[in-house]
Chains A and B, each alone.
Chain A
Amino acid sequence: MFRDVFVRYRHKEKLKNKNYKLLERFYASLYLIRRTEEEIIRVYPTDKIKSPVHLSIGQEAVSAGVCAALNGRDVVFGTYRGHAMYLARGGSLKMMIAELYGKAAGCAGGRGGSMHLIDIGNMVMGTSAIVGTTIPISAGYAYGLKYRGSDSAVVSFFGDGAVDEGAFHEAMNFAALKKLPMLFVCENNLYAIHSHHLSRHHSDNICERAAVYGMPAQRIGDDIFSIYNTAKRLLKGVRSGRGPAFIECITCRWKEHVGPGDDFYLGYREKKEVRQAMKRDQLLEVRRLLGASAAGKIEKKIDGEIREAFEFAERSPFPAQEELYANVFKE
C-alpha cells in the first residue's frame, strides 16, 4: 500500500535544467528544519521549553517543497505541527525559538508557544492547536485576496486527521464553489496521534474525495522534487483563476506525536514503517545531488544561525507581569 507514490525520479530528470539554485534552496530549507528540531530535542529535557512540541522531522520535504514554489506574497496557514511550515516559508528562527522558550521576544510574545507560530511579515499567518480550524480560515483569507484583486494565493497545510472534520469539507466545497485562489496540502503521515488513516476512513481515497468537490487533486510521495513540481504546476492554475487545487503528500512522522522522543514502545506502528521512510530521507538525497562541499557551506551558515537563535532565546527576558492583560483586544 502507498508504494506507488514513491516511484523514484531518475536523477537525470531531477536535474534536467541543472537548477543548482533550487537545489541549494531545498537543502537550506530541509537542513534548517531538521537541525532546528534536533536542537529542540537536545534542549527539551532541561525544561527550558515549557511547551508541547509536535516535531516535523521526516515531513520536512512537504513544507520545503511547497514553500519553494510560492511567490512573494503567498500566505500559509498550518497546524500545531508547524515548525517546518513556519521555517520553510521564511519565518524568523530567532523569534520562533524565543517563542518556544516563552520569552517576550517570541513571535507571539511567549503566549503561544510551539503550537502557535506566526510571522506576518514573512507571510506565515498562524498555526492552531485545534485540528481543522485553519482550513476554513485559509479559505476566508483566499476569499479576501480574490475580493481585493490580489494575485497571491493561500496554502493551507493540515494532516490526514483534519480530513475527518466537517470544517474541512465545508471549506473545500466553498473554495471550489467560489474558485478561491488556494492550495490545500494534506500531509498524510498515516496517523492521527496513534489512529491509522484506514481505521478512520472507509478507504484510501482522500484525494478522490477532494477531486469530487471540483478541483484538481493529486497524490504524491514525500520526494521534494515531485512536491515542488506539483505545487508549482497546480499553483499556476490557481493563480489563473481556475480555483483551488489539492495535494496529498504521503509522508512519515519519525518522532512521537507530541514530544521529542521515539514512540515504537507503544506498538501502534512498526519500526519498519519509519525505517523505510528514513531510506527516502530527502535531506540526504538532496545533499548527495548537491555535493558535499556546497552542502557544507550551507550547513555551516545554518548551524551558526541556529546557535545564535538559541543563545538569543536563552538570554532574552520573560514577558513582564502586566503583559498578562495586554492584547485581549486590539487597541
Chain B
Amino acid sequence: MKRVLSYSEAIREATEQEMSRDPSVIVMGMGVDDPKAILGTTKGLAGRFGHERVFDTPLSEDGMTGLAIGAAMSGLRPIHVHIRMDFVLLALNQLINMASKLCYMYAGKISVPVVIRCIIGKSWGQGPQHSQSFYPLFMNIPGLKIAAPSTPYDAKGCLISAIRDNNPVIFVEHRLLYYQKGYCPRGPFTMDFGKARILSRGRDITLVGISHMAVECLRAKRYLQEKGIEAEVIDPVTLSPLDMERIEKSVIKTRKLIVVDNAWIPCGAGAEIISRIMENNSGGDFIFKRMGFAFTPCPTTPALEGSFYPNAKMIAAQAYKMLYPKAGQWKPKANLKIEEVEFNGPF
C-alpha cells in the first residue's frame, strides 16, 4: 500500500526532517509554537527542537522579515510562516527591496536562503482582507522563487527544495488543500523547481490550475467526462520559474487552454502563461481563456462569495463552450461524488 498523507502533514514532515538534518533551519512566525500550531503544520516542532529554533514573533511582519533576512545572511535558514498571505503585504519592502536583490546587488557575495510560507484562505466569510493570494505580484519580481503546490507529494518535495535553496522562496499554501490526501514517501526528497505536473492526461483541452484551482480543474475534468470530453489538467507547481515547456506541449496537442488563477486575472499567471505561448508560437491557432477571481475585493456575504470564485462547474462550462461554440450553453449539475477528488499519482 502506498503511504498516504494529508497536505498539512506533508508540510510538517518536510519541516521536521529538514530541521533534524540541518541545525541551521529555524522556524519563526506568529503562532508557530502555539496550541494551534499553524493548523498543525508546526505541531511538536518547538517541543522537539526547542524555542531557539522555533519561536513566536511579535506582530511585526516588516521587521521580522528583515530579521529573517539578516539571520539568513549570517548562515541560518529561516522559515518565516504567515497564517494569511494578506499579512505578507506588510513585509513587501524587505522582501522586494532587500531579499530579492541582495544576491544580485552584491554580485553574488550574499545569499538569502529564506522560505516565506504564506497560507491563503477562502470562503466562509473570510472577506476582503483575509482571502487574497498575491503570487502574481511576486511573479513580477526577479530574484524570488515561488512555489504553490497542490498535492501532498509536491508540498513535501517543494518545501524541502525551498529550504535547501540558497534564495528567497515564496511558498504558497491554500488552506483548502490542507485536508487533501495523497501519496507521500516517508523519507526526504527534493523536487526541481520549474517542473509542472500533469495531474491528468487528456486530448481535448488543457486546464492549468494554480494552487487550489488545480483541484477545481480535476473536478471540472470529471464533469466534462459526462460530455465525453477529456481534459488534460496541469499544475505548474512552481510559478517562478515556470515550466512552459510542458504546458506548451499540452496546448500544441489540444489547441485549447484555460488557465484558472487562484487570484485576480489582470497581470496574473494566466496572462503570463498565455503570452509566453503566443510569443513562442506566432501564427498558432489556439483558443485561450483566463479565469480567476471576479475583479472586486472579496465580499464576505455567502450570497456574493459564490460568484467571486471560479469553481469546477464554471470551468467545465467554459471548457464546453470553447469546444462546442455553437452548441449553446451547458452547465453541469452539482455532483458531490465528482467534487471529492484526491490525486494519487502518477508521480
Which A residues fall within an 8 A CB radius of B?
A: 50-52, 102-103, 106, 108-116, 128-132, 161-162, 164-166, 192-195, 199-201, 266-268, 318-319, 321, 323-325, 328
Q: Is the CB of B31 within 8 A of A195?
A: yes
Stretch in B188-196, B254-262, B292-300 with 4+ CB within 8 Å of A: B292-300
Residues from chain B with a CB closer than 8 A to the CB of A267 are 35
Q: Is the CB of B304 within 8 A of A200?
A: no
When A50-B124, A129-B127, A130-B87 are in contact, do A102 and B301 touch as well, CB less than 8 Å?
yes
How many Å lie between the Cα of A50 and that of B299 in the bound state?
12
When A324-B296, A324-B307 are in contact, do A102 and B302 touch as well, CB less than 8 Å?
yes
The 3 tightest CB contacts between A and B, nearest first, are A102-B301, A318-B303, A110-B301
Extra contacts, 11 of them, besides A129-B86, A164-B60 (Cβ < 8 A), are A51-B127, A51-B300, A52-B124, A108-B300, A266-B36, A319-B301, A319-B303, A323-B304, A324-B299, A328-B295, A328-B297
Interface string of B70-105 (1 = CB under 8 A from A): 000000000000000011001000000000000000
Give the Cβ gap from A201 to chain B, nearest Cβ, in Å: 7
When A111-B299, A161-B59 are in contact, do A321 and B304 touch as well, CB less than 8 Å?
yes
How many Å lie between the Cα of A192 and that of B56 in the bound state?
11
How many Å lie between the Cα of A162 and that of B234 in the bound state?
42
Q: Is the CB of B36 within 8 A of A324?
A: no
Q: Is the CB of A266 within 8 A of B300?
A: no
Give the Cβ gap from A186 to chain B, nearest Cβ, in Å: 13
Residue from A102, A162, A267, A321 with most neighbouring chain B CB atoms (10 Å): A102
How many Å lie between the Cα of A235 and that of B58 in the bound state?
30
Selected contact of A111 from candidates B30, B57, B294, B304, CB within 8 Å: B304
How many A-B residue pairs lie within 8 Å, measured between CB atoms? 119
How many Å lie between the Cα of A113 and that of B304 in the bound state?
12
B129 at the interface (CB under 8 A from A): yes
Give the Cβ gap from A324 to chain B, nearest Cβ, in Å: 5
Q: Is the CB of A194 within 8 A of B304?
A: no
Selected contact of B59 from candidates A200, A318, A328, CB within 8 Å: A200
20 examples of A-B residue contacts, CB within 8 angstroms:
A50-B124, A50-B125, A51-B127, A52-B125, A52-B130, A110-B300, A110-B303, A110-B304, A112-B127, A115-B130, A116-B300, A128-B129, A164-B59, A194-B31, A194-B36, A266-B36, A319-B303, A321-B304, A324-B294, A325-B296
When A102-B301, A130-B86, A166-B63 are in contact, do A195 and B56 touch as well, CB less than 8 Å?
yes
Residues from chain B with a CB closer than 8 A to the CB of A199 are 56
When A129-B130, A195-B56 are in contact, do A103 and B297 touch as well, CB less than 8 Å?
no
B126 at the interface (CB under 8 A from A): yes
How many Å lie between the Cα of A114 and that of B126 in the bound state?
10
Q: Is the CB of A193 within 8 A of B30?
A: yes
Give the Cβ gap from A173 to chain B, nearest Cβ, in Å: 16
Give the Cβ gap from B188 to chain A, nearest Cβ, in Å: 30
When A111-B300, A130-B87, A319-B304 are in contact, do A268 and B35 touch as well, CB less than 8 Å?
yes
Residues from chain A with a CB closer than 8 A to the CB of B35 are 194, 266-268
Selected contact of A102 from candidates B60, B61, B128, B303, CB within 8 Å: B303
Q: Is the CB of A51 within 8 A of B125?
A: yes
Q: Is the CB of A164 within 8 A of B58?
A: yes
Interface string of B46-65 (1 = CB under 8 A from A): 00000000001111111100
Q: Which residue of B lies closest to A197 (CB)?
A: B58
B22 at the interface (CB under 8 A from A): no
Give the Cβ gap from A188 to chain B, nearest Cβ, in Å: 14
Q: Which residue of B lies closest to A267 (CB)?
A: B35
Residues from chain B with a CB closer than 8 A to the CB of A161 are 59
Residues from chain B with a CB closer than 8 A to the CB of A193 are 30-31, 34
Give the Cβ gap from A176 to chain B, nearest Cβ, in Å: 21
B308 at the interface (CB under 8 A from A): yes
How many Å lie between the Cα of A60 and that of B308 in the bound state?
35
When A50-B124, A195-B30 are in contact, do A129 and B59 touch as well, CB less than 8 Å?
no
When A116-B127, A324-B294 are in contact, do A102 and B86 touch as well, CB less than 8 Å?
no
Give the Cβ gap from B34 to chain A, nearest Cβ, in Å: 4
How many Å lie between the Cα of A165 and that of B64 in the bound state?
10
Residues from chain B with a CB closer than 8 A to the CB of A131 are 59
How many Å lie between the Cα of A195 and that of B125 in the bound state?
25
Selected contact of B127 from candidates A115, A132, A165, CB within 8 Å: A115
How many Å lie between the Cα of A132 and that of B86 in the bound state?
13
Residues from chain B with a CB closer than 8 A to the CB of A130 are 86-87, 90, 129
Q: Which residue of A lies closest to B307 (CB)?
A: A324
Q: Which residue of A lies closest to B59 (CB)?
A: A164
Residues from chain A with a CB closer than 8 A to the CB of B60 are 164-166
Give the Cβ gap from B32 to chain A, nearest Cβ, in Å: 10
Residues from chain A with a CB closer than 8 A to the CB of B59 are 131-132, 161-162, 164-165, 192, 200
Give the Cβ gap from A203 to chain B, nearest Cβ, in Å: 13
How many Å lie between the Cα of A130 and that of B130 in the bound state?
8
When A52-B126, A194-B31 are in contact, do A328 and B296 touch as well, CB less than 8 Å?
yes
Q: Which residue of B lies closest to A80 (CB)?
A: B129
How many Å lie between the Cα of A329 and that of B282 in the bound state?
38
Residues from chain A with a CB closer than 8 A to the CB of B294 are 324-325
Q: Is the CB of B34 within 8 A of A194?
A: yes
Selected contact of A116 from candidates B34, B62, B128, B295, CB within 8 Å: B128
Give the Cβ gap from B6 to chain A, nearest Cβ, in Å: 22
Q: Which residue of B lies closest to A327 (CB)?
A: B296
Q: Which residue of A lies closest to B308 (CB)?
A: A324
Selected contact of A50 from candidates B61, B63, B302, CB within 8 Å: B302
When A50-B302, A164-B60, A318-B303 are in contact, do A111 and B36 touch as well, CB less than 8 Å?
no
Q: Is the CB of A111 within 8 A of B301?
A: yes
Q: Which residue of A lies closest to B34 (CB)?
A: A194
Give the Cβ gap from A11 to chain B, nearest Cβ, in Å: 39
Residues from chain B with a CB closer than 8 A to the CB of A113 are 125, 127, 300-301
Within 8 A of A (CB), among B124-157: 124-130
How many Å lie between the Cα of A256 and that of B56 in the bound state?
19
